[in-house]
Amino acid sequence: MKSVPKPRNKAVSKPTINDIARLAGVSKKTVSRVINRSGSLHDDTREKIEAVIRETGYVPNPQARALALGRNFLIGLVHDNPNAQMILNMQQGILEALRDTDFELVVRPVDRSSPDMLDDVRSFLVRQRLYGVVLLPPISEIDALARLCEEVNCKYVRMGSSVLDDPDHMVASNDRDAVIEATRHLIAQGHRRIGLISGPHGFNSAQVRRDGFEFALAEAGIKLPRSLIADGQYTFESGIAAAESLFDLQPRPTAIFACNDEMAAGVLFAARSRGIAVPEELSIIGFDDTPIAARVWPPLTTVRWPIVAMGRSAALKIIGDATSVSPEDQEPSTFVSTLVRRGSVAPPMK
């Protein structure tokens, strides 16, 4: 095999796509099709070009590839979610998938209550020429947003607490089953007066988790008065406010399930402020298993939401055909959330 001509100056030049085409005896367009993993090529041709690329150490130019594809090597993360830790964990999972690739991550918050939300997202997708986008709840639950992605030829994956789309376009978790397990754990400890701090209205995750909670109580023959349900916003501050309203009840609940860890931490803070001992006088369970759950005292019993793995899977679904990622390397479309038992749960005081 001929070698790439050496430059006249002392610096070592990098091989170009023209060099690869000449050494492989094919056209520049054929090399480009191999680089961009286009179909309709004979295996012998593809293997010959890939061998030349390996021998020369050729590295494709991301800008040139983007121009050929009509899209940038950018993955968007679009969200309207108040849970900062959830966003960080999702970013971690996506970045793990993008490591050692040409892709970069672009994060874009939106306002789902705005009448211009769909237009704003359309403008963002078109302007950035994204290769694909990951949609987080609750906007992932908007079917019109998925259709919009298809209209502008942008790959998408929707994340949710239940199935929202076909397997190629979604990652989902079993939130309802996980909350049933968590609530059964409280019941098995002897709790009968259990409060719920729900998530924001309009969030599918909030409704699915509440459904699981109510199912477990009904299964055990335990009634759930409306007074034992407090609204939350997935924030620490809303957890404090909701806990205060539940603590004012007579009798107050002996246990509280909060629909995420931020609110559960708020419950723990409010309990300490009132001199309510946890877990002796009050048991608490959260949801997510974010770092805060293991760092407060006592450490929170919580449901582990595999958000990092879900983020990684979402990104792999988008970039799989543009990288060396094989279908076997991709994470599944559905993930199991599991109960993590720590020190915030104990039997109620007699």
Domains of the chain: 17-60 (1.10.260.40), 69-174+307-335 (3.40.50.2300), 175-305 (3.40.50.2300)
Distance CA(223)–CA(165), nearest Å, equals: 34
The angle, 0 to 180 degrees and rounded to 10, between the axes of the packed helices 17-24 and 43-56 is: 130
> Model's pTM, two decimal places?
0.74
DSSP line for 233-260: -SSHHHHHHHHHHHHTSSSPPSEEEESS
Cα–Cα–Cα angle for 98, 100, 102, nearest 5°? 70
Distance CA(165)–CA(317), nearest Å, equals: 13
- What's the pLDDT at 1? 47
- Tally the residues of the chain: 350
- Give 339's Cβ-side CA count (13 Å radius): 20
- What's the pLDDT at 331? 58
Of residues 40, 321, 65, 338, the one with CA closest to residue 168: 321
Write the pLDDT tens digit of every residue in 42-96.
Answer: 778 878 888 888 888 777 655 555 445 555 789 999 999 777 888 999 999 999 9
Residue that is written with structure tokens 């969200």 in the block: 79
Q: Which two tokens stand for residue 230?
A: 């407090």
Strands 301-304 and 338-340: antiparallel
Of residues 160, 155, 182, the one with CA closest to residue 170: 160
- What's the pLDDT at 347? 97
Distance CA(70)–CA(130), nearest Å, equals: 9
Q: In what order do the strands lie in the sheet with 194-198?
A: 229-231, 194-198, 255-258, 283-288, 301-304, 338-340
Which regions in the chain score pLDDT beneath 70? 1-12, 32-33, 35-40, 60-71, 321-331
Positive or negative, the CA dihedral 60, 63, 67, 69 is positive
